[in-house]
Amino acid sequence: MDRKLLLEHVLVEGINGIDGYQKKGGYRALEKALNSMSPNEIVEEVKKSGLRGRGGAGFPTGMKWSFIAKPEGVPRHFLCNADESEPGTFKDRYLMEKIPHLLIEGMILSSYALGCNLSYIYVRGEYMYIIQILEKAIAEAYHKGYLGKNILGSGYDLELAVTCGAGAYICGEETAMIESLEGNRGNPRIKPPFPAVKGLWGRPTVVNNVETIAAIVPIVNEGGDAYAKIGIGKSTGTKLISACGNINKPGVYEISLGISVEEFLYGDDYCGGIKNGKQLKACVPGGSSVPILPHHLVCKTANGDQRLMSYESLSDGGFITGSMLGSGGFIVYDENQCIVKNTWNFTRFYHHESCGQCSPCREGTGWMEKIFHRLEHGHGKIEDIDLLWDIQRKIDGNTICPLGEAAAWPVASAIRHFREEFEWHVKEPALCLVKNYGLVGINIPVLNNA
């Protein structure tokens, strides 16, 4: 049975208010930290925990914290990336909506550990009701003395504010988010310098994801070693997964890293299997920016080993036969889904959200969208498939930020694993249009490599 560290009390009545949160042990970690732990001791506990960034990259959090520059007399800042815009990902929204004080407490602990006195939560513009929930929770924390001057008599001061984005996916990239916070267009910065050295207003800055910050609370409460005992190998602790698509039980699940993909996909405690008794066709295990896995590689690796819900197992075999855990957006396709149509939808998104700063991304995402449109609407040519492959290859690795890779990887994996389906769109355009746009009775043929 999974250990619940973040969502254990999420359904308790009143848990979204500070009194209900305190009744379930809320702010106990903060009291412990301010009374008996130095900032460096908290950083060391986070290192021991093995916690990795839950926003997608999976970089060790304690190591990231240790990079922050500490020049004498220069303020530092801690930023929460709540710009959750990855298609298929909605776990941060759930956490902020249901138990906002867990994030607030994590923000205070993290800011204390990093020596920051002014911190921000950057929320995507579409989450307006979430912003109202967070502002109410922050006001309650100020009222109780957990924010402001001389918190709990410790001598530590912290001001915390919520700021609203304008609906740009690119601002989920940390330097673009910093640009937005400074009042500029949300374009990613060239690195180095990295934010840990020169971030918000040119000052040392650390950026972490909502789930990552929330995990600091149980780490401080129970210790880094105890947290590291949950999970498997370098994938320690628990992970929130946003499960959606053709499954019986979509929703947000907190899993112990290391459970099998098969258990998560078919287990009654999780997704509950494929909806309407259909067969699995493919899965996108980590949000729209990761490679698509065909059905035979979802639960088993290319070597026949059981695939696990962990950073290492999901990436086993690289992008040829593997994918990524990413942001935990677990999207499932049944046998009736069209890979070309769904990948076109991803491509439309990335073209729309490209900031346009880099030529390969600005031009390449547009060309990919146009070619997918041709294929999907009966005007494609066989050469278009190789052209798509060539375009994604020229985007991958040639942009300032990872949005280029996010646009390229799903396209590459779709062609790699489902090329015959692309060819079917060219050879049988009338059947493709009938199948994908409202009429029934036509099925895409079973493909050898799907």
Q: What's 232-334's CATH class?
A: alpha beta
- pLDDT 10s digits, 114-169: 999 999 999 998 999 999 999 999 999 999 999 999 999 999 999 999 999 988 99
* Region of residue 399 (phi > 0: left; psi between -120 and 50: alpha; otherwise: beta): beta
Q: Which CATH superfamily is domain 18-229 in?
A: NADH-ubiquinone oxidoreductase 51kDa subunit (3.40.50.11540)
Q: What pTM, to 2 d.p., does this model score?
A: 0.93
- pLDDT 10s digits, 265-309: 999 999 999 999 999 999 999 999 999 999 999 999 999 999 999
Query: Tokens 């997918």 — which residue?
Result: 372
Kindly report, as residue ranges, where domains of CATH 3.10.20.600 are found in the chain.
232-334
- 415-418 CB contacts, 8 Å cutoff, 24+ apart: 415/385, 415/388, 415/389, 416/320, 417/282, 417/292, 417/293, 417/294, 417/297, 417/449, 417/450, 418/282, 418/292, 418/294, 418/339, 418/340, 418/447, 418/449, 418/450
pLDDT of residue 447: 41
| Separation between Cα atoms, residue 205 and residue 75, nearest integer Å | 9
Fold of the domain built from segment(s) 339-436: de novo design (two linked rop proteins) (1.20.1440)
pLDDT in tens, the chain (450 residues): 568 999 999 999 999 999 999 999 999 999 999 999 999 999 999 999 999 999 888 899 999 999 999 999 999 999 999 999 999 999 999 999 999 999 999 999 999 999 999 999 999 989 999 999 999 999 999 999 999 999 999 999 999 999 999 889 999 999 999 999 999 999 999 999 999 999 999 999 999 999 999 999 999 999 999 999 999 999 999 999 999 999 999 999 999 999 999 999 999 999 999 999 999 999 999 999 999 999 999 999 999 999 999 999 999 988 899 999 999 999 999 999 999 999 999 999 999 999 999 999 999 999 999 999 999 988 899 999 999 999 999 999 999 999 999 999 999 999 999 999 999 999 988 888 777 775 444 454 444 443
Partners of residue 256 on adjacent β-strands: 238
